[in-house]
Amino acid sequence: MKTSDRSASTAGSGDDSARERLRDVIEITLIPGLGSTAQGRLRSACRDLSEVFSLKPGSLEALGIARDACEALASRRYTPMADEILDWGARESCHFICRGDPGYPALLEQIYDPPLMLYARGNLRALELPGLAIVGTRRPTYYGIQMAEGLSSDLSRRGVAIVSGMARGIDAAAHRGCLEAKGCTIAVFGCGADIIYPREHRRLAEELLARGLILSEFPPGTSPAPQNFPVRNRIISGLSLGTVIIEASEYSGSLITARLAMEQNRELYALPGNITSPQSFGPNYLIKQGAKLIQSWRDVVEEFPPELRQSILAQEDAAPRRLPELELLSEEERRILELISFDQATQFDKIYARGGVEISRLAGLLLGLEMRGWIRQVPGNLYIKATRPKQ
């Protein structure tokens, strides 16, 4: 197969035989009742997946292929749809990454049921970086958002690609933290790669496409049906060296990703939380079950493969040390900063009551701290301490 950038194909990048092969792979993935495990059996049985369409019904049924799927393969019912998808890919600059091709992610190949086809939009370089998944609740606390953004930013600055699902809450915070640090991030969709879900993340998706990658095993036009998200979670964990859980309630879908990471023999990390918060149930439970408790990016990197860990830590040790920026704050600013916490928003009135400065002066101090990245104002005239000053 003639391939384009980094061995991933776009519809217009190959000759006729390459297009036919790619169309055949896409067609197989379109057939109802032919899931990833059945597709894997077909791939094992045929040197070339195009041979699948000439197999006798008895041979297909012996591989566990349902009768309806056998009939769809024999009739080539989904060939026109596969051709339409190829044309769409050429128009939209979508890459098609087939299992077994050089551009297919090596870590993903190792899981029990790798997807046969990945639709990829954006910067394929993200797949060349070591990946780490950061996932969590769709209803995070301010503490959870700050920690997701901070951890993602810290790791991306050190050459790690952040993998998540672009859902509301922790997922979106992880992508934002990576993008703010000018890093590479990968969003794995539970719908077609052409559908932005949720809709309010359209701008985030645009920023992500400029520096990162959108991935999906679902063909374009697939709606974000609830059953798709547990399926896509195996890709989030499968692409990654490990998975970090930041805030997850007892029945959070993030715990599915945690289970999949363990089944895939990947590292599992959890950020501890307040035991009275429902969002802390998941990570605290996972820590009791053996997940590594983390407090900083170093706790994550310590579990990376030795060569990668040593490379990251060697670069960190060689970097020049900065003077503590806290020394650059005035006494008034430090006093105000001490009244604001990481994990709970503080009302302006409460800061005023305890800050010992006039309202007009306090407003100026808060604005200055916010401009330098020490704090963040959130709706309701509330303030929360940021993870770090802006670089």
Q: What is the pLDDT of residue 317?
A: 75
Q: What is the pLDDT of residue 249?
A: 93
Q: What is the pLDDT of residue 121?
A: 97
Helices (H), 46-141: 57-62, 67-75, 79-92, 106-109
Architecture category of domain 325-385 in CATH: Orthogonal Bundle (1.10)
Phi and psi of 160, rounded to 5°? -100, 135
Query: What rounded mean pLDDT belongs to the chain?
Result: 89
Residue 212 is given by DSSP the state S
Residues of the chain with pLDDT under 50: 1-7, 12-13, 323-324, 389-391
| Token pair recorded at residue 242 | 């490990």
Q: What is the pLDDT of residue 208?
A: 95
| Token pair recorded at residue 358 | 């006039």
pTM as predicted: 0.84
3-state helix, strand and coil shares in percent for the chain, rounded to the nearest 5? 50, 15, 35
- Peptide bond preceding 198: is omega within 30 degrees of 0, i.e. cis? yes
Give Cα separations from 255 to 113, 136, 283, 298 (angstroms).
19, 8, 9, 23
**Is the C-alpha dihedral spanning 264, 266, 271, 273 positive or negative?**
positive
Tell me the pairing of strands 375-378 and 382-385.
antiparallel
- Pairwise CA distance, residues 95 & 93, whole Å: 6
Yes or no: say if 232 and 256 are a contact pair by the CB < 8 Å rule. Answer: no
Q: Parse the chain into domains and list their residue ranges.
A: 5-92, 124-318, 325-385
Q: What is the pLDDT of residue 81?
A: 97
Question: In the Cβ-directed half-sphere of 124, how many Cα atoms lie within 13 Å?
Answer: 19
Q: What is the pLDDT of residue 321?
A: 56
Yes or no: say if 185 and 156 are a contact pair by the CB < 8 Å rule. Answer: yes
CATH for 124-318 is 3.40.50.450
